[in-house]
Structure formats: structure tokens, C-alpha cells
Amino acid sequence: MCLAAPARVISIDEKTAVVDYQGVRTTARLDALTDDVTPGDFVLIHTGFAIKRLSPEDGEETLRLFDELTSSLTAEAEKAPPSTPSSHATQGVAEEQPEDA
């Protein structure tokens, strides 16, 4: 129950904003939004109500998080010994530590 699409805030009148989804304009209510928003910001909108403010920097930060994770995991894998199946936690807490060389 989570379909929410990002739209750009064009103008705000009290608790209602005019928003733009790639050239399609409509209004969205701001009553349920904790964040402050100003025209030019993006918001995530679910059933006609804004639920979160998004900024373009958030987009870049997201990519940075992806890249940071993959590079750190690749680095860890390069240091680890080749394919000894380590015991993983398949349910709850692992019973023993992963095997180390």
C-alpha cells in the first residue's frame, strides 16, 4: 500500500501545493507532512497527500550509498579466503562466527 511518486512543488497556498509530475500538474495536500517545503522542492505523494520532502542531493546521496556498499563489500571479499562456505545466520543469531583464514 505504498505507491508514492515524486513531484516538484510549484507553489504553496497554506496546506495545499500545486505540484508537477513531469509536466502533469495537480494539487496535493500537505496536512500529513512533517517536513517544511518550499517551491522547487520535490515531495513524495501518496493518494494526493505529500508524505516526505526530497531534495536533489538526496538522489546523489542515494547513489553514493549504493556505491559505498558495493565497493566495501568487494574490498572485504578480496581480503577474505576463497569460497569456504561460512556458517551464516539463517535464522536469528549465528551460532558460530564465520570461518576465518
Partner 1 sequence: MTKHDERITPLHGAGGELMGQLLDRLVLPRFAGEEIGSIGLQSLDDGASISLPDLPGELVLTTDSHVVDPVFFPGGDIGRLAAAGTLNDLTVMGARPLALTLAAIIEEGYPVSDLERVLDSIADVLREVGTPVVCGDTKVMPAGDIDGIVLNTTGLGIADPPIGDADLRAGDCVLVSGSIGDHGMALLAAREEFHLETSLLSDVAPLWPMLRPVITAGTVRAMKDPTRGGLASALNDMARKSQTCIEIEEDAVPILDAVRGLSDLLGISPYDVANEGKAVMIVAEENAQATLSLLRDHPLGKDAAIIGRVTDEHPGRVILATPIGGRRFLDMPLGDPVPRIC
Partner 2 sequence: MARPFSFTDPKRAKALSDAIRILAPPDPYKIVHVCGTHEMAITQSGLRRFLPDTVDLLEGPGCPVCVTPATDIDAAAEIARTGAIVCTFGDMIRVPGSHTSLDALRTEGCDVRTVLSADEALRIARDTTQDVVFFAVGFETTTPMTAVICLDDPPPNLSILVSHKLIPQAMAALLNLPDNRIAAYLAPGHVSTIIGLAPYEEWLRERRIPTVVGGFEPLDILYAVALLLRQSRDGVASVENGYPRAVDDNGSPAARALVNEVFQVVDVAWRGIGVIRQSGLSLRPRFAQLDARQRFDVGITEEADEIPGCRCPDILTAQAVPSDCPLFATRCTPLAPVGPCMVGTEGACNIWFRYNGERSL
Chain contacts with partner 1 (rule: CB under 8 A): 1-3, 5-7, 20-27, 45-47
Other beta carbons less than 10 A from residue 31's beta carbon: 9
Residue 40, contacted partner among partner 1, partner 2, none, CB below 5-8 A by kind: none
User: Which grid coordinates belong to 78?
Assistant: 578480496
Q: What are phi and psi of 54, to 5 degrees?
A: -125, 140
To the nearest 10°, report the CA torsion of 18, 21, 4, 56: -90
Q: Decide: is 99 part of the binding site for partner 2 (CB under 8 A).
A: no
Binding site for partner 2 (CB under 8 A): 1-4, 6, 8, 22-23, 29, 31-34, 42, 44, 46-49, 51-52, 54, 58-59, 61-63, 65-67, 69-70, 73-74, 77, 85-86, 88-94, 97-98
